């Protein structure tokens, strides 16, 4: 027997309707914000992700890298933003000088320890607003992320925000963190000892040292913002205050990727039994990636949500999020001679836009009936030899158990009247 790859999962037929409905909801809500979908490849040339400026664990330790038959280095995408920016630059979408507001839905791949809601192949939907450094746009993305979670009816939604400042502020903060952590280097985990040399911000995002006294007492980036960075963050907060969004300032929030600058944020929802980690998604502003990939000096801001975690959250709260496919009509036949007329009738029912089916496993009548009831068909249409000779069928309402004889010529109208009621 063959088994699925560790860290992956199957979406089974009785579960897929939840995914379909979540994707429909994503598209419905994002259209209100004038977002358009972009679809990029699941694999990119490795340099799209393995940039010199990106030293996060996601890139250095968790990517799936391989050589193709022409010996080119490729990487399965671990996140969506870099591929979107590569596409934005390659197709010169900046030439119109318009703000490009896009979203994406699709699988990503990271080699990390699988756990509840976190897999090695996982789905995200994300949003990117590309081509502007206006702090109002930061606020807009936070509002959108909050609004989305709120519309899913998840409880007690809280937005956590912070600012890393511009490049100069960030550099000053890294120096302050290095000075702060250096006396504690030997007591940090092995990874954080390396992070102290390369990028001390990553220490604040470490799960192992999260409760280390030095981490808890680390300085905040807000203490080292220059005036322009302070003004940027103030404008973001002012625009958020114009809404009913509940947000808190989280001074140690840095997010897990190195490309962020200025505003970073996460969206939490209170979910009992969901564990200590209630974060459903997050994002922030990034100022240098477009230029780094060969485009102009333009800023962007975005966020992403893990779809598995969203579905787990909805199911944990028993939110009636979606309904499975419901069968309107099931055709039963009493003999082999009735199978050809059943095929024709089934085709006509579907042309009339009814969800209809029949048996294809050569079951006897009782077996067909059991299958129809198991599928929760609303109506049964019974094709019998004697009735068919008279061009009639028997129609049974499975809820009321009322059965009537109906002329074949008027069956569609009969069902239309019943089902629409």
Q: What pairs with residue 248 in β-bridges? A: 160
Max alpha carbon distance in the chain (Å)? Answer: 94
CA–CA separation, 279 and 306 (whole Å): 10
Lookup: tokens for 296: 């102009």
- Superfamily name and number for 329-420: Anticodon-binding domain (3.40.50.800)
> 86: which residues sit within 8 A by CB, 6+ positions away?
40, 44, 48, 293
> 67: which residues sit within 8 A by CB, 6+ positions away?
73, 74
The predicted pLDDT at position 35 comes to: 96
Its pTM stands at 0.88
- Taking a C-beta distance cutoff of 8 angstroms, is the pair 381, 359 a contact? no
Helix (H, G, I), strand (E, B) or coil at 198: helix
Lookup: tokens for 29: 């809500």
CA–CA separation, 252 and 162 (whole Å): 8
The predicted pLDDT at position 277 comes to: 61
Per-residue confidence of the chain (421 residues) as pLDDT tens digits? Answer: 999 999 999 999 989 999 999 999 999 999 999 999 999 999 999 999 998 877 777 888 899 999 999 999 999 999 999 999 999 999 999 998 889 999 999 999 999 888 877 899 999 999 999 999 999 999 999 999 999 998 998 888 889 999 999 999 988 888 888 888 888 888 888 888 888 887 888 888 787 888 888 888 888 889 899 999 999 999 999 999 999 888 999 988 888 777 889 999 999 887 776 655 678 999 999 999 999 999 999 999 999 999 999 998 888 888 877 777 889 999 999 999 999 999 999 999 999 999 999 999 999 999 999 999 999 999 999 999 999 999 999 999 999 999 999 999 999 999 999 998 7
> What is the length of the chain?
421
Lookup: tokens for 415: 């069902």
Q: Where along the chain do its domains lie?
A: 16-166+226-316, 329-420
How far from chain centre, in Å, is Cα 382?
A: 44
- Domain 16-166+226-316 fold is BirA Bifunctional Protein; domain 2 (3.30.930)
């Amino acid at each position: 027997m063959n088994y699925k790859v560790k860290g992956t999962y199957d979406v089974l037929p009785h579960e897929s309707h939840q995914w379909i409905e979540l994707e429909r909801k994503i598209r419905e809500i994002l259209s209100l914000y004038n977002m358009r979908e972009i679809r990029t490849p699941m694999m990119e040339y490795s340099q799209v992700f393995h940039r010199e400026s990106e030293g996060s664990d996601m890139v250095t330790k968790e990517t799936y890298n391989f050589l193709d038959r022409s010996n080119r280095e490729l990487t399965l995408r671990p996140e969506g933003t870099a591929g979107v920016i590569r596409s934005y630059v390659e197709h010169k979408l900046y030439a119109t000088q318009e703000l490009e507001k896009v979203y994406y839905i699709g699988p990503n791949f990271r080699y990390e320890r699988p756990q509840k809601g976190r897999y090695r192949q996982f789905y995200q939907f994300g949003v990117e607003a590309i081509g502007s450094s206006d702090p109002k746009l930061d606020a807009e993305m936070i509002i959108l992320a909050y609004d989305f979670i709120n519309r899913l009816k998840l409880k007690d939604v809280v937005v956590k925000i912070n600012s890393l400042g511009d490049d100069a502020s960030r550099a000053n903060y890294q120096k302050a963190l290095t000075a702060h952590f250096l006396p504690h280097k030997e007591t940090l985990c092995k990874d954080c000892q390396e992070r102290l040399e390369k990028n001390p911000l990553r220490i604040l995002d470490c799960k192992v040292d999260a409760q280390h006294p030095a981490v808890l007492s680390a300085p905040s980036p807000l203490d080292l913002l220059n005036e322009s960075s302070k003004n940027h963050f103030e404008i973001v907060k002012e625009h958020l205050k114009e809404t009913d969004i509940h947000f808190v300032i989280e001074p140690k929030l840095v997010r897990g990727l190195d490309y962020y600058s200025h505003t970073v944020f996460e969206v939490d929802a209170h979910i009992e039994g969901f564990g200590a980690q209630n974060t459903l998604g997050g994002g922030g502003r990034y100022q240098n990636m477009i230029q780094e990939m060969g485009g102009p000096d333009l800023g962007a801001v975005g966020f992403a949500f893990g779809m598995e975690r969203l579905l787990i959250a909805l199911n944990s709260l028993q939110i009636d999020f979606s309904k499975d496919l419901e069968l309107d009509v099931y055709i039963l036949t009493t003999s082999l001679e009735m199978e050809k007329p059943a095929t024709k009738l089934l085709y006509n029912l579907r042309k009339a836009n009814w969800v209809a089916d029949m048996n294809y496993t050569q079951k006897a009548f009782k077996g067909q009936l059991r299958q129809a009831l198991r599928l929760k068909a609303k109506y049964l249409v019974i094709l019998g030899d004697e009735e068919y000779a008279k061009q009639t069928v028997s129609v049974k309402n499975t809820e009321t158990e009322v059965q009537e004889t109906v002329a074949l010529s008027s069956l569609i109208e009969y069902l239309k009247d019943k089902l629409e009621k």
